[in-house]
Amino acid sequence: MDMRRRFICVFIALVSMWVWGAGQMKAVTVTLTIDEGVDRPLALSRAEHNLGVILTEINRAQQAKSILTTKNFSMDDFSLKSLLRLWAVTPFYCDDEEVVERCWIFKNGTMMVSHIPLIITPEGEDFGVGAYQEAVVEFDNKGNITDFRLALDAHTAESMERCGSVVEKEKQMIIMQYIERFRTAYNQRDSNYIEKIFSDDALIITGKVVTTRSNSDMGGLKQKVEYTKQTKQQYLRNLKRAFRRNKWIDVKFSEIGEHGEEGGCAGITRSTVDKTKYGVRLRQEWNSSNYSDEGYLFLLWEFPEDGRDPIIHVRTWQPEWVGGVRQQPDDDISTLGAFDL
């Protein structure tokens, strides 16, 4: 009798633990709003459901520290690979049980939502600890997911949309998409995508701060910037080495402009010489398991008129801080006018 009573008590305790655990992980509900006057497409409800299923499974797997179960995901191969690659490098979860966000509806019926809240948790961190990020999710005209990527920070995205006198609205959206994918590729350690996005003859300039001894009588130490010009092959070789050395990498882009971080527009300009060329200036934060830096990034993009995928011809980087002094972006390596188009 005692054994039976003990068995019943253990059984009840296990059931209680299971019920408590299940209650801890609630389903994430997604509500996508649209602009007033826009007809609500039938596929929007499907998009809400599909995204909710994915976010719920992400939360379950992150808390359980298990792999994602993707059999119920309505995603194409491209978006699924993007999600799984992100998950493999830096797992994350959605901290909101109810996600309500505006959805962009495009002419061809495809859709995009830009501010899905995520908490990134590098390897070794516990559930509930991490850095806030936002994701961009795109859907086809049936509500199936076609892209899942990390977003630019909200202020940068808003400034790109705000500066319409520089680049037309449609091109702003396309540039934002490719910058988000470019940034996400670093977080995913996806060297194949980065190799594809650079032109074969790309010019890549990187800078680093070095400390040297002064030639003065005092013999003190001073810091200066050394710039290195690399080919695409050299850059990719060094980048792959960095990917192997780091368990996780978190790259963030934020705006710079006439007023720096005080609200100036992100530096997106279109060439007056070649209408297919665009210059983008951003502030970059690189954080990884064994290295971090902050600096200014310039990308010279080409968007071919025939609709082919855009490519990067120039990538330059310079440090933001040298010897405790904040530097300004060097126009000689961070503007369209600095390069022969």
pLDDT digits 0-9 by tens, 22-37? 445 689 999 999 877 6
pLDDT of residue 78: 92
Q: Which amino acid is located at 257 in the chain?
A: G
Other Cβ atoms less than 10 A from the Cβ of 285: the count is 15
Residue 253, pLDDT > 90, answer: no
Rg (CA), the chain: 24
CA distance 176 to 125: 30
**What's the Cα-to-Cα distance from 310 to each of 28, 32, 127, 178, rounded to whole Å?**
35, 30, 38, 8
Q: How far is it between the farthest Cα atoms of the chain?
A: 92
| Residue 151 pLDDT grade (very low, low, confident, very high; cuts 50, 70, 90) | confident
Instruction: Give the range among 241-250, 255-264, 331-340 with minimum mean pLDDT.
Output: 255-264
Q: In sequence order, which residues have a C-beta less than 8 Å from that of residue 31 and are 6 or more positions away?
A: 48, 98, 99, 100, 101
pLDDT of residue 236: 95
Strand partners, 321: 326
Cβ–Cβ < 8 Å for 199, 313: yes
Section 53-65 average pLDDT: 93
Q: Which of the pair, 63 or 226, is modelled with greater confidence? A: 63
pLDDT of residue 233: 94
* Structure letter (DSSP) for residue 75: B
Cβ–Cβ < 8 Å for 281, 329: yes
pLDDT of residue 20: 36
CA distance 208 to 158: 30
H-only helix segments in the chain: 2-24, 43-64, 77-89, 154-162, 169-188, 191-197, 232-245
pLDDT of residue 305: 87
Full set of structural domains in the chain with CATH: 27-151 (no CATH), 191-338 (3.10.450.50)
pLDDT digits 0-9 by tens, 265-304? 447 788 877 888 888 888 899 888 888 888 989 898 999 9
CA distance 303 to 287: 29
Other Cβ atoms less than 10 A from the Cβ of 337: the count is 13
Distance from the first to the final alpha carbon of the chain: 89
CA distance 281 to 335: 8
Global pTM value: 0.66
